[in-house]
């Protein structure tokens, strides 16, 4: 039987895969597992619930609140808020756990439920497995005063905004910024906090109706932001995804600045200010080779993890690092957040521009972006990727041809029956040619019979 929890909570098509009944059962099981410590001390557990504005989040949030409160958990309903805000508020309220209802950058019909442990940290696999097992076990059913309250968390946004402003090393006065909220959870917070920090703000993608989240706006659809930056003569554009745990940027000329370039800028800034713990940046194996080269040139160590922000977070927590992230725009500042925070990332970029008196293009030039070609090869036996002699021979031939000026990465998908072939090289033609050649061999050798 497939594991219910994926790489980032439980996700699926709302009202088909992620049903009302499942939402209640998950909440009841979470109350059993994550409320145990509080109950052992004779007190009611507390939980914070946040959601993005997709329409299905309304009934799922109600179901989760019902499942928790009927299990004796006091619920603080924060309403529509970014994922990192829910994580922050879980810690700020000293709650036993938090629940975020979102499908991130997915389209409106999807939704998801993910949990945060005490302190706002993502769950490890063992706790997720315990929750899944508890879904078929006995439920808590207190009566009278043992039933939990459901309370509107009235100052949730204000607490989060104060936290974000407190993280800034300097104000943003004089900067003109376009903020793209993806018609998502950032709409109520991001424009306000940029204005409070002193920036002149133009807002797009900030009219959520429950159905338009991530539709033509946000970090997966940057053309609207590029056009707005050019139209308004802005210094900077920042784009969030639906739950605002990501940030990609656009410079004054409309050029995209991705998560790798953002990490390069911020790693150098933090090193200069003595805030880069152990002089190390944590990234994933999919980060651009140019990031690794730039870090080496500036005397910064770089650790690579498996793909997924949870693995970056695990490395940061295990070793006490202060900065990490992914090319997709998940950037983690462990001093201020327990998960990727797109609004915080955008603020940090803008603050560095003002601190240095430089444009975003100037700051991003610290890193050369190597052409990166990615080809997905479906319908293959991904378990033989590392052992097939002809596939590996082709990889070695490519690496020899690149002479250290590029790299090859073959990665079996964690969720689909396919292999991802990624080649980086100094020029796009070389990267494309080698990626296609390797993909053909993977298809010929590993296709399922």
Tally: H helices and E strands in the chain: 15, 19
Clarify whether 69 is annotated catalytic.
Answer: no
Residues 6+ apart with CB under 8 A from 28: 67, 68, 70, 71, 134, 135, 139, 140
Question: CA 253 to CA 255: how far, in whole Å?
Answer: 6
Exposure string of 398-416, with b = 16+ CB inside 10 Å and e = fewer, is beeebeeebbbbbbbeeee
Contact 41/117 with Cβ under 8 angstroms?
A: no
Residue 116 has pLDDT above 80, yes or no: yes
If DSSP codes are grouped into helix, strand and coil, which group holds residue 101? strand
If DSSP codes are grouped into helix, strand and coil, which group holds residue 411? strand
Backbone phi and psi for residue 8, each to the nearest 5 degrees, phi listed first: -145, 65
Mean pLDDT of 151-157: 96
Q: What is the pLDDT of residue 403?
A: 85
Contact 49/61 with Cβ under 8 angstroms?
A: yes
Residue 294 has pLDDT above 90, yes or no: yes
Q: How far is CA 198 from the centre of its chain?
A: 26
Nearest to 323 by CA among 314, 310, 332, 336: 332
pLDDT per residue as tens digits for the range 306-338: 888 889 999 999 999 999 999 999 999 999 999
pLDDT per residue as tens digits for the range 21-74: 999 999 999 999 999 999 999 999 999 999 999 999 999 999 999 999 999 999
Domains of the chain: 10-155 (3.40.120.10), 170-364 (3.40.120.10), 372-446 (3.30.310.50)
DSSP state of 300: -
Q: What is the pLDDT of residue 448?
A: 82
Residues 6+ apart with CB under 8 A from 219: 105, 180, 182, 239, 240, 241, 246, 247, 248, 328, 329, 342
Backbone phi and psi for residue 201, each to the nearest 5 degrees, phi listed first: -120, 130
pLDDT per residue as tens digits for the range 252-287: 999 999 999 999 999 999 999 999 999 999 999 999
Q: What is the pLDDT of residue 411?
A: 86
DSSP state of 139: P
Question: CA 327 to CA 336: how far, in whole Å?
Answer: 20
Residues 6+ apart with CB under 8 A from 263: 281, 283, 287, 291, 323, 324, 325, 331
Question: CA 264 to CA 421: how far, in whole Å?
Answer: 25
Question: CA 426 to CA 372: how far, in whole Å?
Answer: 9
pLDDT per residue as tens digits for the range 182-212: 999 999 999 999 999 999 999 999 999 999 9
Confidence of residue 1 (pLDDT cuts 50, 70, 90): low
Residue 413 has pLDDT above 90, yes or no: no
Two structure tokens written together for 225:
């932001």
Question: CA 16 to CA 424: how far, in whole Å?
Answer: 40
Question: CA 340 to CA 247: how far, in whole Å?
Answer: 9
Work out the burial of residue 126: count CB atoms within 10 Å of its CB; fewer than 13 is exposed, 13-18 middle, 19 or more buried: exposed
Confidence of residue 7 (pLDDT cuts 50, 70, 90): confident
Contact 89/230 with Cβ under 8 angstroms?
A: no
Which residue among the candidates 69, 70, 104, 328 is catalytic per the annotation? 104
User: Greater confidence, 447 or 348?
Assistant: 348
Q: What angle in degrees, to the nearest 10, is found between the helix axes of 83-92 and 156-166?
A: 90
Backbone dihedral region for residue 394 (phi beyond 0: left; psi -120 to 50: alpha; all else: beta): alpha
Nearest to 294 by CA among 361, 362, 364, 367: 367
């Amino acid at each position: 039987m497939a594991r219910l929890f994926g790489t980032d909570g439980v996700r699926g098509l709302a009202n088909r895969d992620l049903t009302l009944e499942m939402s209640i059962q998950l909440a009841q099981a979470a109350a059993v597992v994550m409320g145990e410590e509080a109950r052992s001390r004779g007190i009611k557990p507390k939980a914070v619930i946040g959601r993005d504005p997709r329409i299905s989040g309304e009934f799922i949030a109600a179901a989760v609140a019902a499942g928790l409160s009927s299990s004796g958990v006091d619920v603080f309903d924060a309403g529509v808020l970014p994922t990192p805000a829910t994580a922050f508020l879980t810690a700020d309220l000293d709650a036993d756990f938090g629940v975020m209802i979102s499908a991130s950058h997915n389209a409106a019909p999807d939704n998801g439920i993910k949990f945060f442990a005490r302190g706002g940290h993502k769950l490890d696999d063992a706790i997720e497995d315990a929750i899944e097992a508890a879904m078929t076990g006995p439920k808590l059913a207190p009566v009278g005063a043992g039933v939990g309250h459901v309370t509107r968390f009235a100052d949730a946004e204000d607490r989060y905004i104060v936290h974000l402003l407190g993280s800034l090393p300097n104000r943003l006065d004089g900067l003109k910024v376009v903020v793209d909220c993806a018609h998502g959870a950032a709409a109520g917070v991001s424009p306000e906090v940029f204005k409070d920090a002193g920036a002149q703000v133009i807002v797009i993608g900030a009219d959520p109706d429950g159905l338009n989240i991530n539709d033509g706006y946000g970090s997966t659809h940057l053309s609207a932001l590029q056009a707005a930056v050019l139209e308004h003569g802005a210094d900077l554009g920042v784009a969030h995804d639906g739950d605002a745990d990501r940030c990609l940027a656009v410079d004054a000329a409309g050029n995209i600045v991705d998560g790798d370039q953002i990490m390069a800028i911020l790693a150098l800034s933090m090193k200069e200010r003595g805030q880069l713990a152990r002089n190390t940046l944590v990234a994933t194996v999919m980060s651009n080779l140019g990031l690794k080269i730039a870090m080496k040139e500036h005397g910064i160590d770089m650790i690579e993890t498996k793909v997924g922000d949870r693995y970056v977070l695990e490395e940061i927590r295990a070793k006490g690092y202060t900065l990490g992230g992914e090319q997709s725009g998940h950037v983690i500042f462990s001093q201020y957040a327990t998960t990727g925070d797109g609004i915080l990332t955008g603020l940090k970029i803008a603050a560095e521009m003002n601190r240095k008196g430089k444009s975003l293009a100037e700051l991003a030039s610290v890193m050369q972006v190597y052409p990166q070609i990615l080809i997905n090869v479906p319908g293959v036996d991904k378990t033989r990727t590392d052992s097939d002699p002809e596939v590996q021979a082709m990889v070695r031939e490519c690496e020899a041809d690149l002479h250290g000026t590029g790299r090859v990465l073959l990665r079996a998908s964690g969720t689909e029956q396919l292999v991802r072939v990624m080649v980086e090289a100094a020029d796009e033609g070389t990267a494309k040619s080698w990626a296609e050649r390797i993909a053909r061999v993977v298809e010929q050798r590993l296709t399922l019979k």
